[in-house]
Amino acid sequence: MPRTALILLFLLTGPILARGDDLKASSSDPRLIEQPRADYRARRKELMDRVNKSESSRISFSKDQGGETIVVLRGEDDRGQEDFEEGRFRQKNDFAYLTGLEVPGAWLVLRPRQNRATLYLPSPTRSHMNGQSRHPGPGKDAAEQFGFDAVEPNAKLLGDLFTAIADPMRDGAGTAVVYTMSPSPDPHNTKPDAKFVRFLREGAPNTTFRDLAPVVGEMRKLKSKSELVLLQKAIDITGDANEEVLKIIGPGLFEYQLEGRILGAFLNGGALRPGFQSIVGSGPNSTIPHYFLSSRKMAEGDLVVVDIGAEYNLYTADVTRTYPVNGTFSPRQREIYQLVLDAQTEAANRVKPGSTRLVEMTGIARGYLRKSPLRAKDSDGKEFTMDHFFVHGLSHYLGMDVHDVGDMNKPMQPGEVFTIEPGIYIESENLGVRIEDDYLVTESGLVKLSKNIPSEPDEIEKRIATERARKKHSD
Ligand SMILES: [Mn+2]
């Protein structure tokens, strides 16, 4: 092949292939965002099954009389990022989960009764994100590549939707049911999803709208094998970032300098962004659970709370460590630290797969902290048991969202991933400690996915000492 042709080929396909060797042309197991294409098809099938089941369980439903059932989901567009104010395109989580597509401006339409999945794409000649993204146009090639029954141009979306919604109405056969995001008719909701639903409501006033979010949420709560690989990778990169922290931590350094090292380690490991705003809070800032300024110079005798998570291919870690800035915990810091660590271990040991619910976790930790003989004073000088200084929830699900979707009131099942993050914040002592790890629920109990990131106080002191000795030696 002549060189110019090769360059042309790269220009046409390069940006699509850039993320993790997606879409290997003739592979039997093509991958989209580092997950098998077959997984996304299976998810769409399961979503359609769930919708069919849910509709058939409704009393008024009859296959012959009812209108069409349709699922409509909007992908992220190329103008604004609703959730992330940055220039780099990031697909919306539900859309990525069901399609594996990072093309801006795409739509997904499912017809559960026909087991049919159609993707709608913008015209390929349109420039996306100032040319950051290229994709094949609608048609057979794209359908084959992305694993859909059909890929249509966006220009056909509304016509197809209204035809599907309205057809049964012409027979007087009943109303259509549309599953979508933000189905509530709240006129003050100006988000694109809500505006779109209002538009559909005006055009098809007899249509019933149902919330798609809880249906997809219950599916996303259970992680597949390929999702767990991505989560583990995000956690391991977060571990690398913690190693960087241990290398440079010390009095005189600014919090933002630690954060800089952390973000550098994320990118270096292939995580294109943090899954959430990093927290690096030292001394008095360690007692503020959501401290985002990173502006203080760390001092001798401080603790520093480092709550960070790399996002790898849309899956995020969430790990917190608390380090002694000078390399050694004071006796008081150590007793509080050990209590927090023990509360975490206790909570993890109490989880019974199939019966414990995520909402119960906070109570377990509170009870444990309350039993401790340790005491501390609040800012008014009043003495309290240690549960008084634990001011947030203990656990949340983890996945594509850092506080991931899924009903927290249901018993935990194998395949779910969640965090355990006890913390004690004593303002009167400028002493805050939080320890957070990520756990996978299995048949036999929990697996700590972040176990390679040291949290034992002796181990932390040893690691900092080793790094300092190494540095001294090289100086
Ligand atoms: Mn967390």
- Average of pLDDT values for 138-149? 93
* d(CA 257, ligand 1 centre) in Å: 22
Q: Where in the sequence of the chain do the CATH 3.40.350.10 domains occur?
A: 3-218
Question: Which pair of structure tokens corresponds to residue 447?
Answer: 């697996």
Residues 6+ apart with CB under 8 A from 84: 90, 273
Q: 253 C-alpha vs ligand 1 centroid, how far in Å?
A: 25
CA of 396 to the centre of ligand 1 (A): 7
Cα 319 to middle of ligand 1, angstroms: 7
Burial of 62: CB neighbours in 10 Å, binned 0-12, 13-18, 19+: exposed
Percentages helix, strand, coil for the chain (3-state, rounded to 5) are 40, 20, 40
Output the CA 229–ligand 1 centroid distance in Å. Answer: 20
Q: What is the Å distance from ligand 1's center to 391 Cα?
A: 13
How many angstroms is it from 377 CA to the middle of ligand 1? 26
Distance 398 CA to ligand 1 centre (A): 8
Provide the mean pLDDT of the chain: 89
**What would the pLDDT profile of 385-418 be if each residue is shown by its tens digit?**
999 999 999 999 999 999 999 999 999 999 999 9
Quick one: fold of 222-474?
Answer: Creatine Amidinohydrolase (3.90.230)
Please tell me the distance between residue 446's alpha carbon and the centre of ligand 1 in angstroms: 17
For the domain made up of 3-218, the CATH class stated in words is alpha beta
What is the distance in A from the centroid of ligand 1 to the CA of 436? 7
Distance 454 CA to ligand 1 centre (A): 17
CATH 3.90.230.10 domain range(s) in the chain: 222-474
User: Do the Cβ atoms of 68 and 161 come closer than 8 Å?
Assistant: no
Cα 429 to averaged position of ligand 1 atoms, centre (Å): 24
- Region of 74 (left: φ > 0; alpha: ψ -120 to 50; beta: rest) is beta
Q: How far is CA 282 from the centre of its chain?
A: 26
Distance 448 CA to ligand 1 centre (A): 14
Tens of pLDDT, residues 200-253 = 888 888 889 999 999 999 999 999 999 999 999 999 999 999 999 999 999 999
pLDDT higher than threshold 50 for residue 11:
no
Query: How many angstroms is it from 403 CA to the middle of ligand 1?
Result: 7
Distance in Å, CA 409 to ligand 1 centroid: 18
**pLDDT mean over 378-384:** 97
* 434 CA to centre of ligand 1 in angstroms: 10
Å from CA of 419 to ligand 1 middle: 6
pLDDT band at 3 (very low <50, low <70, confident <90, very high): very low
